[in-house]
Structure 1
Amino acid sequence: MTSKQSPSSSKYFDRRFERGLLHPKHWPTWLAIGLMGVFAFTPVRLRDAIASVLARVVFRLAKKPINVARANLGCCFPDKSSQQVELLLKENVRSFVMVLLGQAELLVRSTAYIRRRVALHGFEHVEAAKAQGQAIIFIMPHVWGIDYAGLRLNLDLSPMVTMAKAHRNPLFNWFNNRMRSRFGGNVYMREAGIRALLGELKQGNSFFYLPDEDLGPKNSVFAPFFATTKATLPVVGRLASVGNAQVLPIKIGYDTQAHQFNLTVMPAILPESMAGKEQEALALNQAVEAVISAFPEQYMWFLKILKTRPEGQASIYQ
């Protein structure tokens, strides 16, 4: 089944189903999606138990990403012992598999189920911003439960938009963006640029932004990040100022005992703390640190978040 897109949405990801997605080369991906669909209706306690077993296998096989994660943790937390780092890595992989096995539930389960699955706290900060007639820029680093956060907020705050990089697998691309836009949100391609996001903010729509990605040295500013420094792109402050928006950090973590996500909207970052590029980079990194520190085992440590280094410093990824 296909749906038409207006010219104004040409920079959104195309969510239409194309016949090419049925090509035999995509059959392994269809199998994976089918399995995820089965797990979406599997009792959560059983699914999490299966994930814990599978995580041990993933930990042994995923050597490259785990080496990247080990480098990140060593740089950010030099005081942690090797035993502490390895324990955190094992918990990190376990969190990843738990989220992965359940992710299809965001596409196929009811809204009432998703509300129960993700407990929302701190929504009064959103209501306060809306009462003042302001749009909202939610900032959240790359944590495993990020799609749960976006979809849960979208239930009570629509429309919302975000920006993402295309997946190399077109079927997973279609699947992910159908899921992320289920409740009326839109996912922009990176090529859309800042102007598209500014236009959304000026219409009062909310924007979901991930400030922790390393986008290279161009326009980035180095600021403290845990025990090291990180290249950060300071664009949020200007977007908020021009788009009349508040910047609200959010954190989410999975409670493996209650088998439920806890999503918290945190107080707004004060505009004066983002005055100037250096100050904004510092404020963003501090917000990212606070979110990661709440659930350090649930952050995507396998990303090369410290790829850009200050002049004279060698890469940490060998």
Structure 2
Amino acid sequence: MAKQSTLNKSIKEFIGPKHWPTWIGMGIAYLLSFLPWSALQGVGKVLGKVLYLVASRRRHICDVNFKICYPDMTKAERIKLTKEHFESQGQGLLETFASWFQNKNRFASKITFEGEEVIKDVLERGRGCILISGHFSPLDICGSQVPRILDVHPIYKLQRNPVLNWVMERQRKALFSKTIERRSMREVLKSLKQNKAVWYAVDQDYGRSDSVFAPFYGRECATIAHIARISKMTNAPVVLYDYGRTQTGYHLSFSEVIDFPTKDDVENATRMNSLMETAIEKKREQYFWGHRRFKTQVNKADPSPY
């Protein structure tokens, strides 16, 4: 089934028997969202351990990524990091449910911000700004807190499961003043013109046609090029949004990417990848290592490493 927005669709379209398993899952997710924060973390780790046992394909992708990014890492070290990654993903899954079904103010005491003055400074220029980040397991719960200091319009990807899409799109619409489907460049430009922040996660492989090749952990990697192009077109400053889970909550930081972009797409992509590497190394286990980051090869004839 093709991915389609469900924002203009009624729930009546998704109540047939074929959708019941997903609705049951959403009901369980709703109940789990009420867990206290410490229990949320503990249950999330247990869920991650289960996922590690059953998700053999994702384990394989993680191992391939570790071999590419950390060639000196031993097999035992890769297994250890993979287990830690799955535990973090389990925590992130429950945090996503909590961000969808609970009032965002419930987690306010768990959040620390750094770089609020950066946001104020860039928006005073009247060009909006482009937030760039990577994919880390607390993405949704940290993202739900950004509107406390910034009117941000996140770019999102449609899901194949229509029920999940229906819930996700509505919950995110309730959190953010506007969300933008990733193919809607017109809406991106409109938001920047209105001096809003547009948020991109820039560390996924979107395929050859939308990318340039730049090193990521020392290996040429398909990297989206249009971030720098949008910045050049609109004069919108680019801000690195880094976030992560701590022992006591979450830390969100904002820093302007200085002297960016340049006129060279590969140089810009290399800079973004370097920023992502720095962010990853602070919290390796929280990164989405289950993504096939290196699936598109420089040489079309070369097979995918996965």
Would you say same fold, with TM above 0.5? Answer: yes
Deviations for 1:148-199, whole angstroms, at most 9, x for unmatched residues?
A: 23221123222x323322211111001112222223333323332x233112
By how many angstroms is 1:131 displaced?
Answer: 2.3
Where does structure 2 lack aligned partners over 5 or more consecutive residues? none
Q: Does 1:250 align with 2:238?
A: no
What is the match of residue 72 of structure 1? 65
> Which stretch of the first structure deviates more once superposed, 112-121 or 216-225?
112-121
Matches within 5 A, 1:106-255: 106-158=99-151, 160-192=152-184, 194-255=185-246
Q: TM-score, normalised by structure 1?
A: 0.88
Among residues 32, 37, 42, which one is paired with 1:44 in the alignment? Answer: 37
By how many angstroms is 1:39 displaced?
Answer: 1.6
How far apart, in 1, do the equivalents of 2:149 and 2:164 lie? 26
Q: TM-score, normalised by structure 2?
A: 0.91
Q: Does 1:101 align with 2:94?
A: yes
Q: Secondary structure at the match of 1:236?
A: helix
Q: Which amino acid aligns with 2:232?
A: S
Q: Which amino acid aligns with 2:144?
A: L
Q: Which amino acid aligns with 1:314?
A: P
Question: Structure 1 residues 102, 218: closer, same or farther in 2, change over 3 A?
Answer: closer
How far apart, in 2, do the equivalents of 1:44 and 1:132 lie? 38
Q: How many residues align?
A: 302
By how many angstroms is 1:225 displaced?
Answer: 0.8
Matches within 5 A, 1:21-36: 21-36=14-29
Q: Which amino acid aligns with 1:236?
A: I
Pairwise CA RMSD: 2.0
Contact residue 33 and residue 95 of structure 2 kept, 8 A:
yes
What is the match of residue 20 of structure 1? 13
Give the 4+ runs in structure 1 shifted more than 4 A. none
Contact residue 5 and residue 158 of structure 2 kept, 8 A:
no
How far apart, in 2, do the equivalents of 1:252 and 1:116 lie? 16
Q: Secondary structure at the match of 1:186?
A: coil
What is the match of residue 306 of structure 1? 294
Deviations for 1:41-81, whole angstroms, at most 9, x for unmatched residues?
A: 11122232222223222111000011011111111111111
Contact residue 137 and residue 286 of structure 2 kept, 8 A:
yes
Contact residue 240 and residue 256 of structure 2 kept, 8 A:
yes
Where does structure 1 lack aligned partners over 5 or more consecutive residues? 1-10
Question: Structure 1 residues 61, 139: closer, same or farther in 2, change over 3 A?
Answer: same
How far apart, in 2, do the equivalents of 1:175 and 1:100 lie? 15
What is the match of residue 282 of structure 2? 294
Question: Structure 1 residues 292, 274: closer, same or farther in 2, change over 3 A?
Answer: farther
Q: Which amino acid aligns with 2:86?
A: V
Contact residue 238 and residue 260 of structure 2 kept, 8 A:
no
What is the match of residue 262 of structure 1? 251
